[in-house]
């Protein structure tokens, strides 16, 4: 009985235990045979255990790869990738636990082998979720580290990358994500690339057609070419004579643009004067990647959508000195037919009313005399003499090793490029300061500050030493 209990209590196969016990009883008199038979059975027994274990492992693999996982898997997942602020890199995957969810970052995405994928493991149900992933996805690298920030954003630092490709933010629970989840009816996560430097907020310029928005924007771009970049919109309207595709607009078919809107490619879009216009997320990202401040020329509906998005911007409304002057300018431009001019003027009345009364705009500028309006615009943007060309340079993280160590002190992330422990590191250490971070998905996370510190001489936990 003891043997039977022993085998069963160790969760061995019950049938196996019975057979084995029966064998011992039958052969009790033939002790020598029994002893050798017993050894043989022990061997068989161990082999059987091995088979059972392999079978379990295979089932576990099947379950997890098919989208479900047993509850114990969560522990093993976090056991493999301990949660906290320290290094969470193991191979090409990291795991971050937030509430009841574990975000597993790494490996290839389902639609492309070239980007970092994201999967969510729901601990309570033991299910794997493939979230809707918004934003430009980072390309895979040999390895990365992941650090949880503020409970709703994960900083991913890619190994083998330069500083302009290295820092990525995965938003998982921000207000923007909650909104998107309502739209998509699915778990949503969104990538935004971290951009070094304190690039100022984008500028949204709105106002009725013909008021002079484009004229003011080209003045700014001409005077400060390295500071401002224009967000090139998509539109379904036909190009004007001198307009170039990709420079003035991305001219698009309605069917293509509608599909791209459904795919979440646009930050905002609106039907304006009978055509579709929209700002793609990429249009804003391209400008931020160039380290420039983005200018959006969009109508009032678009401005309202951007205000509701997570893109923090300055909103400026340009008003004409009078309705008669607006009509005069629109006609003098001679780019529209009479019918189109009438339509634009009708819409202008509504836009002027909304622009001036809705509280949507931070500033309202009257474009009477062009020169003085332009000066006022520059004042709003803080473009006094001297500040305009100040450009900070940042250390280049050339080939950040895969084995880098990452830790977090307040708003600062310490990146140790030596693969050893911090005390042993002889090389300089990078410090990524996130205290001035602005923006986020969709688009770019700006305001990252990177500098080098020497671990043997600097006190890394002293704010003053670092800033």
Ligand X SMILES: Nc1nc2c(ncn2[C@@H]2O[C@H](COP(=O)(O)O)[C@@H](O)[C@H]2O)c(=O)[nH]1
Ligand Y SMILES: Nc1ncnc2c1ncn2[C@@H]1O[C@H](COP(=O)(O)OP(=O)(O)OP(=O)(O)O)[C@@H](O)[C@H]1O
Q: Measured between alpha carbons, how far is residue 41 from residues 1, 20, 23, 34, 466 in Å?
A: 18, 8, 10, 10, 67
For position 251 contacting ligand Y by CB under 6 A, the verdict is no
Helix H or strand E segment including 62: helix 31-65
For position 278 contacting ligand X by CB under 6 A, the verdict is yes
Contact at 8 Å (CB) between 86 and 406?
Answer: yes
For position 285 contacting ligand X by CB under 6 A, the verdict is no
Please choose which of ligand X, ligand Y, none residue 367 contacts, taking the beta carbon within 5 to 8 angstroms, the exact cut-off set by kind: ligand Y
Q: How far is the CB of 249 from ligand Y (least distance, A)?
A: 10
Here's the x/- map for ligand X, 292-331, by CB under 6 A: it reads as -----xxx-xx-----------------------------
Q: How far is the CB of 228 from ligand X (least distance, A)?
A: 16
Known catalytic residue at 344: yes
Known catalytic residue at 459: no
Which residue in the set 270, 281, 287, 318 belongs to the binding site for ligand X (CB under 6 A)?
A: 270
Strands 275-280 and 233-235: antiparallel
Known catalytic residue at 240: yes
Q: How far is the CB of 458 from ligand Y (least distance, A)?
A: 51
Quick one: which segment of 37-45, 55-63, 158-166, 264-272 binds ligand X (CB under 6 A)?
A: 264-272
First-to-last alpha carbon distance for the chain, in angstroms, is 73
- Given phi > 0 = left and psi -120 to 50 = alpha, else beta, which region is 67? left
Quick one: which segment of 3-11, 17-25, 213-221, 247-255 binds ligand Y (CB under 6 A)?
A: 213-221
- Judge if the upstream peptide bond of residue 442 is cis by omega within 30 degrees of 0: yes
Nearest to 104 by CA among 115, 84, 88: 88
Residues in 192-231 that interact with ligand X by CB under 6 A: 209, 213
Contact at 8 Å (CB) between 179 and 198?
Answer: no
Which residue in the set 89, 136, 209, 280 belongs to the binding site for ligand Y (CB under 6 A)?
A: 209
Quick one: which segment of 50-58, 195-203, 276-284, 393-401 binds ligand X (CB under 6 A)?
A: 276-284
For position 214 contacting ligand Y by CB under 6 A, the verdict is yes
For position 88 contacting ligand Y by CB under 6 A, the verdict is no
Those residues whose C-beta lies under 8 Å from the C-beta of residue 362, and which sit 6 or more positions away, are 314, 315, 316
Alpha-carbon span 202 to 378, nearest angstrom:
14
Those residues whose C-beta lies under 8 Å from the C-beta of residue 168, and which sit 6 or more positions away, are 116, 138, 155, 156, 157, 158, 191, 192, 193, 194
Alpha-carbon span 464 to 449, nearest angstrom:
15
Cβ-based nearer residue to ligand Y, 159 or 210: 210
Here's the x/- map for ligand Y, 350-379, by CB under 6 A: it reads as -----------------x--x---------
Q: Measured between alpha carbons, how far is residue 263 from residues 258, 259, 281, 305 in Å?
A: 9, 6, 12, 17
Alpha-carbon span 278 to 2, nearest angstrom:
77
Q: What size, in residues, is the chain?
A: 467
Q: Which of 240, 346, 349, 459 is catalytic?
A: 240
Contact at 8 Å (CB) between 206 and 307?
Answer: no
Q: Which of 293, 344, 444, 446 is catalytic?
A: 344
Please choose which of ligand Y, ligand X, none residue 211 contacts, taking the beta carbon within 5 to 8 angstroms, the exact cut-off set by kind: ligand Y
Residues in 382-441 that interact with ligand X by CB under 6 A: none
For position 301 contacting ligand Y by CB under 6 A, the verdict is no
Cβ-based nearer residue to ligand Y, 264 or 278: 278
In the chain, % helix, strand, coil (3-state, to 5) comes to: 35, 25, 35
Binding residues (CB under 6 A) for ligand Y: these are 207, 209-215, 329, 332-333, 367, 370
Active site residues: 240, 333, 344
Binding residues (CB under 6 A) for ligand X: these are 209, 213, 233, 237, 268, 270, 272-273, 277-279, 297-299, 301-302
């Amino acid at each position: 009985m003891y043997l039977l209990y022993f085998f069963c209590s160790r969760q061995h196969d019950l049938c196996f235990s019975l057979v084995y016990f029966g064998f011992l009883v039958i052969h009790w008199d033939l002790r020598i045979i029994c002893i050798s038979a017993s050894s043989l059975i022990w061997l068989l027994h161990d082999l059987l255990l091995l088979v059972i274990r392999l079978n379990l492992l295979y089932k576990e693999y099947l379950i997890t790869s098919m989208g479900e996982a047993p509850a114990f898997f969560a522990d093993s997942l976090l056991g493999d990738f301990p949660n906290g602020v320290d290094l969470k890199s193991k191979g090409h995957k990291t795991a971050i636990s937030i509430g009841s969810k574990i975000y597993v970052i790494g490996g290839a995405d389902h639609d492309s082998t070239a980007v970092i994928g994201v999967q969510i493991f729901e601990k309570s149900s033991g299910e794997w979720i493939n979230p809707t992933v918004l934003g430009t996805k980072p390309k895979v690298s040999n390895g990365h580290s992941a650090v949880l920030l503020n409970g709703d954003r994960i900083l991913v630092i890619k190994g083998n990358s330069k500083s302009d490709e290295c820092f990525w933010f995965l938003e998982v629970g921000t207000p923007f994500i909650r909104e998107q989840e309502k739209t998509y009816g699915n778990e949503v996560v969104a990538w935004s690339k971290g951009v070094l430097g304190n690039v100022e907020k984008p500028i949204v310029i709105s106002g009725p057609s013909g008021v002079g928005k484009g004229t003011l924007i080209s003045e700014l771009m001409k005077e400060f070419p390295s500071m401002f970049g224009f967000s090139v919109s998509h539109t379904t309207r036909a190009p004007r004579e001198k307009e170039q595709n990709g420079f003035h607009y991305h001219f698009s078919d309605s069917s293509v643009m509608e599909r791209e809107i459904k795919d979440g490619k646009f930050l905002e879009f609106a039907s304006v004067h009978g055509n579709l216009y929209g700002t793609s997320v990429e249009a804003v990202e391209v400008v931020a990647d160039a380290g420039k401040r983005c200018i959006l020329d969009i109508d009032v509906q678009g401005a309202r959508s951007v205000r509701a998005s997570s893109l923090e911007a300055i909103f400026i409304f340009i008003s004409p000195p009078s309705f008669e002057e607006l009509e005069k300018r629109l006609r003098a431009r001679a780019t529209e037919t009479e019918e189109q001019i009438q339509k634009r003027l009708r819409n202008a009345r509504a836009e002027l009313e909304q622009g001036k009364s809705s509280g949507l705009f931070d500033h309202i500028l009257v474009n009477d005399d062009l020169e003085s309006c332009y000066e006022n615009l520059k004042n709003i943007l803080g473009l006094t003499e001297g500040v305009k060309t100040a450009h900070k340079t940042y250390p280049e993280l050339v080939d950040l090793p895969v084995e880098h160590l990452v830790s977090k002190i307040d708003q600062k992330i310490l990146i140790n490029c030596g693969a050893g422990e911090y005390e042993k590191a002889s090389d300089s250490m990078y410090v990524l300061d996130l205290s001035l971070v602005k923006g986020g998905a969709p688009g770019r996370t700006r305001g990252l500050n990177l500098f080098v510190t020497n671990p043997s001489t600097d006190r890394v936990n002293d704010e003053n030493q670092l800033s």
